[in-house]
Structure 1
């Protein structure tokens, strides 16, 4: 999302561990290639259906749901003092957590946002506080300035397009969160957030999918 060509921070060290999983041939790993193709097609179709359903929700309803989700986040995460919490910049009807993220500093926490520095590589996370400049990243999603420090989050909050009861997350298909978590040396608390209507029976998890620790909706918190 930033347009820089490497996946290192300003100091020259990796902001996220490098990972080459995305470069390995599925056949080499003993995976069923036809099954992967079928699941991929189904996921693309399901993703479009769920996004349409999300956007069809009245704004006032989405706002009320986001408020309920925030209350549950505070219960799940607990005290944020001394913690780095990465959230996301909302798009396409996702739960809007911006006010909650902006208030972290007042509670002793530190906010961050994910950044795609290189396609096919793990995400990095940059510090962000209310009022600090943002720039357009990949897909025109606002991300912190490239001058912002890279950090390692204690908590990662990821939006879900869909989810199942095993806390597997259906995203937009880029695999960035899965790749990042699979390569993490010390796994953070991972929280998926979405509306209850986005629940599906299964995402048909594959070997490369990484489940969230918990998925939070306006109705409940589902733990893995």
Structure 2
């Protein structure tokens, strides 16, 4: 088990690197599209994205490309308390509400959907698929629930600086299947075409 202090220090360092990368490369999100595997441009799949917090890699250009390839989109909605996330159908232009942590979410009456692919925001990731988030565990609980219900791919979106060789992991951490950065595709459990 990792020390909370070591994770806190890593978070601070990686958040600073992420903010610097976001300032230095404002077009980085568009680069994700170039590194997305063609095999994952499958019509009919439900792809859950997210609305980025300041400094997070913006999935919007990739989500637009996936939508044009025939994917259906979704965004996460926080349940009450510390539970897992639900996913509601989303299309560009749909109304959103700003909720907990300042995150924009679909209206609660939007249809709930089961994603095939979850685009995961992160603070850091490593070459084994360990993901470092903000420490609240929302995505770990969500991915555990989704994986218990059926197959789902978890693909982290990051700036190159957010990927390290190794990160501390805890038993409850849910691994990523791949990471897409502005400089390439890291297929951890999912190999590119």
TM-score by length of 2: 0.88
Measure, in 2, the Cα distance between the counterparts of 1:159 and 1:62.
17
Q: Whose strand fraction is larger, Structure 1's or Structure 2's?
A: 2
Shift of 1:127: 0.7
Shift of 1:103: 5.1
Shift of 1:137: 1.5
- Gaps of at least 5 residues in structure 2 are 189-193
- Gaps of at least 5 residues in structure 1 are 1-34
CA RMSD between the two structures: 1.8
**CA 107–58 in structure 1, closer or farther in 2 if over 3 Å, else same:** closer
The correspondence for 1:171, drawn from 113, 133, 156, is 133
Structure 2 partner of 1:203: 167
| SS in structure 2 of the partner of residue 215 of structure 1 | strand
- Structure 2 matches for 1:1-12, cutoff 5 A? none
The correspondence for 1:138, drawn from 100, 104, 112, is 100
Larger Rg: 1
Structure 2 partner of 1:218: 182
C-alpha offsets along residues 120-161 of structure 1, whole Å, 9 cap, x if unaligned? 211100111111100012111100011111100011000121
**CA 181–58 in structure 1, closer or farther in 2 if over 3 Å, else same:** closer
2:144 matched to 1:190? no
Shift of 1:223: 2.0
| SS in structure 2 of the partner of residue 57 of structure 1 | helix
Query: Aligned pair count?
Result: 186
Shift of 1:58: 5.5
Measure, in 2, the Cα distance between the counterparts of 1:70 and 1:198.
18
- Structure 2 matches for 1:16-165, cutoff 5 A? 35-36=1-2, 38=3, 40-57=4-21, 59=23, 61-63=25-27, 65-75=28-38, 77-79=40-42, 81-102=43-64, 104-165=66-127
C-alpha offsets along residues 10-67 of structure 1, whole Å, 9 cap, x if unaligned? xxxxxxxxxxxxxxxxxxxxxxxxx55x2x221122112211122123536132x212
